Amino acid sequence: MAGSAERREPPRRAAAPAPRRGSLSDGRWRPLEVAFWAGTLAAYFAFPAWHVLGSQILITGLFAVSLDIVLGYAGIVSLGHAAFFGVGAYVAGLLAANGWHEPLSALGAAALAAAVAGYLASFLVVRGTDLTRLTVTLGIGLMLWEAANRASSITGGVDGLSGVTLAPILGRWTFDLRGDVAYAYALVVVFAVFTGVRRIVSSPFGRSLVGIRESSTRMAAIGAPVERRLRAAFTLGAAIAGIAGALIAQTTQFVGIDALSFERSAEVLVMLVLGGAGRLYGGLVGALVFMVAQNGLAGIDPVYWQFWLGCLLVVVVLFFREGILGGAANLAARARGRRR
C-alpha cells in the first residue's frame, strides 16, 4: 500500500538489504560475549577457593538482570524488587526445609510463585505515575518483609530459615561446603536463564518494551497494548528474580529475612545502574564489580559500607550516568572515531 504511494522509483538496491540487516541484533553471539562466559567457566578452575563468592556473584547478577527487564527495558522504577527475590528464596527454602529436597523442581516452583506474585503486583504497578509506582513497589516490599517477620514460626523470622537440606542435583552432585557444586549449578542455571532473556530482549516483545520506555504514547499509537506488555515484563522480571532467590537459598542452604529487605532492593538497583541499565550485561557486570568491591572491603564496619554505597550512588548519578558498560561503549565509539 505504501508502495502504491510512490510510482516513480522502483527500489534500486536489490542487493542492499542483506548487509543492512546485519546491524539489527540477530542473535549471534559476539566475541566479547563468548569471552565473558568463557571467563565464568575458567574462573571455576582458576579460583577454586572463591567458588562460594563466585556463585553469589552469578546469582546476584541474575537478580540484577531480572531488574533490568523491569527497569532498564520496560522503564518501571521499582523500589521493591527484592520482594520477588525473597518469595523465590522462601519458596525454595521452605520446600527444602519441609521434606521436598529435590532442587530443580523447587527452582521451578519458586519461579512460578514469584511469577504469580509479580503478576498480581503488576496490576498495581503498571498504571499510574512514577511516584505511584515507587510507592507501591516500596510498599509491597515492606509488607512482604513484615509478613515474613510475623510468620516467624514458619519462616524463622529475623533469625532466618535454617534446616534447608537438599538432595543431590539430578541425583548425582551433592552440594559441598567449598561451593564447587554451588558454583557449577549457579553457572548452568544463570547461563540458561540469561540465554532466554537475551533472546527475549531482541524479540518484538523485547523491542516493544524499549519502545514503551521511550514513548508509551507512540507505542499505543502503533497499536501496542501498553499495559499488557508492561504487566508481562513485570511478571517476567519477578519470575527471574524468584529463580535468583531460589538459587541463593539452595546454594547457601539458608534464607535470611534480608532477602526481602529494602536494602537488597536498593543494592540491586545500584548494581544495575553501576553496570549499565538496559544493556543486558549491565546487571552481570555491575554485580561483579559491586560484590568484588564489597568483598574487598569486607572487614569494614557496615556503617562505613553504607556510607560508601551512598557516596557511590551520588557520584554515579552526577558523573557516571551510563554505568560501566555505557562509559566503555562511549570510549570505544570515541576510539573508533579517532581512528578514522
Helices (H), the chain: 17-21, 31-46, 51-67, 82-97, 103-125, 130-150, 152-155, 180-202, 204-214, 216-221, 226-252, 262-275, 282-296, 302-319, 323-339
What single DSSP character describes residue 225?
A: -
What minimum distance in Å lies between the beta carbon of 208 and other proteins? 5
Give yes or no for a contact between 268 and 64, defined as CB atoms under 8 angstroms apart.
yes
Tell whether residue 307 is a contact of other proteins (CB under 8 A): yes
Site for other proteins in 96-155 (CB under 8 A): 124, 127-132, 134-136, 138-139, 142-143, 146-147, 150
Toward other proteins, which CB reaches closer, 30 or 172?
Answer: 30
Site for other proteins in 253-272 (CB under 8 A): 262, 266, 269-270
Q: Nearest to residue 69, comparing CAs of 310, 243, 292?
A: 243
Selected from 207, 289, 294, 322, the binder of other proteins by CB under 8 A is 207
> Helix, strand, or coil here: 161?
strand
For residue 112, give the C-alpha cell.
512460578
Site for other proteins in 13-52 (CB under 8 A): 13, 17, 20-21, 23-27
Give one DSSP letter per residue of 90-117, joined into a string.
HHHHHHHHTT---HHHHHHHHHHHHHHH
What minimum distance in Å lies between the beta carbon of 92 and other proteins? 25
What minimum distance in Å lies between the beta carbon of 204 and other proteins? 4
Site for other proteins in 270-299 (CB under 8 A): 270, 273, 277
Site string for other proteins, 208-237 (x = CB under 8 A): x-xx--xx-xxxxxxxxxx-xx--x-----
What minimum distance in Å lies between the beta carbon of 75 and other proteins? 8
**Cα–Cα dist 164/220, whole Å:** 47
Selected from 35, 38, 41, 77, the binder of other proteins by CB under 8 A is 77
